[in-house]
Amino acid sequence: MKKQKMWMLAAILTCGLGTVLTACSDKDGKADKQESAQQADASYAIEVEPGLTMPVNNLETRIKTLTNYDKSVVTALQRIDGVTDVKPYDMAVATFNESLNQFFGKTAYYFNFKQLVDHNDPSKGYFKQQCIITVAGKDRPTVVETCGYALTGADQPYTNSIDQINLPILVQVLNANSLHVEHRYHGWSLPEGWTNRWNYLDAKQQADDLHAIVTAIKKSGVVGKDNKWLSTGVSKDGSTTIHYAYYYPNDVDAYVPFSSPFTLSLEDERAYRYICSPEALGSRYEKVKTAFRTFFGDKKLQADIIAYLKKYSASYADFSDETIRLYLMNKMIRNHFQKMSFVPYTKWESWIPEPGDNVVKYLNYIFADSNTRYPSDTQGEYERRTVNDEENQESIYADNETRAAGAIKERYFPYDIQCLKQLGVGAIACDWIKEYLTAEEQKELFVRYDPAKFGVSYDGGAFMRSLLEGMKQSDCHICYVYGMQDPWTAHRIPDEYLGKNSFVLLIKDGLHNDYIDTWNFSERNILFQWLQGLGFDL
């Protein structure tokens, strides 16, 4: 019951920053919940099986078909065997450098591709896989964004909006065509429909999907047949790039995954250890470490913070002090992870509390996450946040026992299921504060994972071992990019598994993104010279 209350609290407390909780009210909370309920009622309509309903697919109907577009692109797509539902539409392209906007029209072409449910057994039939292509010119290279999720990065299709999909920065740097392929089981690319069965969810099946689509597009004439091809992605998108390179090392000329982890066990704790390490924090290490140890070790400080919350927000009234305390501990750890992932130190290091600071200073830091508007933010920087900023903040792992009981009633996030099957999980393990926690508190905060509760089984690390050995032997041209501030850099590919044509590029102040424009000249030059050496025109 304690755990259920803790995560119920996490679900309803959405107020955050700046003046901390003074803007929160019980009235606002009720209005938000009513609006959310209305949206859900309007979206979920079809019962798939007892206890499991699915949303209505209104994604295609929300695309406003254009009348002014390149009809040769549509014709070429329609000629591809298995391509259906081709729709040109207006796409809001967000570039990292406004001077590049002149190279990009905003016309994108949505289509579905007839894909095998099981590439090992064609008798299992087909499903529709969602794709988007943009065309800069037949004389330009093509960049494949190997989506690790739905096209928009979200897995609530009734809210998806593909008119605002972000182009990888390498599309802009290379003035390239782009091809975006939705990952199977995400969005509306559903091999087994809207169910909780995951029989064909694995890296090999998705790599086969990519190979089939890239091969078809190359033959079609939609883009230049003989021009260069590159595959890229960030985070899970980048992991999918690596999986594609492993199974099809010669499909494209270069592979550039950003911030892509090699998780070596079901519960790999390295990323959470990294968030409070000298390697990641540099000169800020002692200050961050002290802030955590002070908050976790000072019972009076915790009591004062809890009293403040109960005084200024009615949302906390129904919860015990112990539940709130555990919630705040979890929030501080997870939001520190978020800041390390997505926000430069310079924006939040002044927020790090020190012994003797008041309650508000601690609350500001505890609740500050990647979406916080920090004092130094500009509107442009704030609006440029990507879908990865929102990635899985309240994962199924947070409360797997509670949710497992209702497994048939909801379709879990497919990324989480794939992690439980073969990719592994980034588990919370904050060694620098464990001495302040009882065994019971550690059990509450550091959740363990049981794939069986979700009807799947972990492969014992077999896929990751084969992936590492395969990349070591591969002759594909691949540059693994990691940011030194990013927690997932702790999971970077070990040097002993680099192939003869691969290397790791570490970005000194890099985050969990592909923002090449924030790198220094030397870092950019390393990547650009490598691409030029492979024949890409920059």
Give the C-alpha separation, 206 to 236, whole Å: 13
- Residue pair 130/151 in contact (Cβ under 8 Å)? The answer is yes
Question: pLDDT for 242-255, tens place per residue?
Answer: 999 999 999 999 99
CA dihedral 208, 213, 215, 217 (to 10 degrees): -170
Categorize the per-residue pLDDT at 72 as very low, low, confident or very high, splitting at 50, 70 and 90: very high
CB atoms within 10 A of CB 478: 24
pLDDT at residue 18, rounded to an integer: 30
Query: Which of 181-185, 410-414, 447-451 holds the top average pLDDT?
Result: 181-185
| pLDDT at 335 > cutoff 50 | yes
The amino acid occupying position 167 is: L
Give the C-alpha separation, 165 to 386, whole Å: 9
pLDDT at residue 429, rounded to an integer: 82
- DSSP lists the bridge partners of residue 90 as 107
- DSSP lists the bridge partners of residue 112 as 84, 130
Categorize the per-residue pLDDT at 443 as very low, low, confident or very high, splitting at 50, 70 and 90: confident
pLDDT at residue 514, rounded to an integer: 94
Question: What is the per-residue DSSP string for 173-210?
Answer: HTT-EEEEEPPTTSTT--TT-SSS--TT-SHHHHHHHH
Categorize the per-residue pLDDT at 163 as very low, low, confident or very high, splitting at 50, 70 and 90: low
pLDDT at residue 181, rounded to an integer: 96
Question: C-alpha distances in angstroms, 510 versus 67, 273, 352?
Answer: 42, 18, 20
pLDDT at residue 156, rounded to an integer: 53
Alpha helices in 195-320 (DSSP H): 203-220, 236-247, 270-274, 278-281, 285-297, 299-312
| pLDDT at 375 > cutoff 60 | yes
Categorize the per-residue pLDDT at 378 as very low, low, confident or very high, splitting at 50, 70 and 90: low
Among 25-39, 115-129, 221-235, 499-513, the range scoring the smallest mean pLDDT is: 25-39
pLDDT at residue 95, rounded to an integer: 45
Classify 538 as helix, strand or coil.
coil
Give the C-alpha separation, 105 to 118, whole Å: 36
Categorize the per-residue pLDDT at 41 as very low, low, confident or very high, splitting at 50, 70 and 90: very low
Among 100-109, 133-142, 304-313, 516-525, the range scoring the smallest mean pLDDT is: 100-109
Q: Quick one: average pLDDT of 253-259?
A: 98
Please list, in sequence order, all residues whose beta carbon lies within 8 angstroms of the beta carbon of residue 456, skipping any fewer than 6 positions away: 198, 417, 420, 421
pLDDT at residue 92, rounded to an integer: 60
More confidently predicted of 512 and 392: 512
| pLDDT at 153 > cutoff 60 | no
Q: What is the pTM of this model?
A: 0.86
Closest CA to 413 of 218, 57, 148, 82: 148
pLDDT at residue 377, rounded to an integer: 59
pLDDT at residue 304, rounded to an integer: 96
Give the C-alpha separation, 86 to 393, whole Å: 34
CB atoms within 10 A of CB 173: 22
323-362 burial code (b ≥16 CB/10 A, e <16): bbbbbbbbbbbbbbbbbbbbbbbebbeebbbeeeeebbbb
The amino acid occupying position 493 is: I
| pLDDT at 91 > cutoff 90 | no
Burial of residue 223 (number of CB atoms within 10 Å: 0-12, 13-18, 19+): buried
pLDDT, the chain, mean: 82
| pLDDT at 489 > cutoff 90 | yes
Query: Which of 80-94, 108-122, 365-379, 447-461 holds the top average pLDDT?
Result: 108-122
Q: Residue 343 has which token pair?
A: 């926000």
- Residue pair 529/362 in contact (Cβ under 8 Å)? The answer is no
Categorize the per-residue pLDDT at 446 as very low, low, confident or very high, splitting at 50, 70 and 90: confident
Among 323-327, 359-363, 401-405, the range scoring the smallest mean pLDDT is: 401-405
Q: Residue 160 has which token pair?
A: 């998806």
CA dihedral 45, 47, 51, 57 (to 10 degrees): -60
Among 318-327, 385-394, 433-442, 521-530, the range scoring the smallest mean pLDDT is: 385-394
- DSSP lists the bridge partners of residue 107 as 90
Question: C-alpha distances in angstroms, 377 versus 95, 98, 115, 281, 382?
Answer: 18, 18, 44, 21, 6
Helix 321-342 crosses helix 299-312 at what angle (to 10 degrees)?
Answer: 90
CA dihedral 213, 215, 221, 227 (to 10 degrees): 120
| pLDDT at 407 > cutoff 90 | no
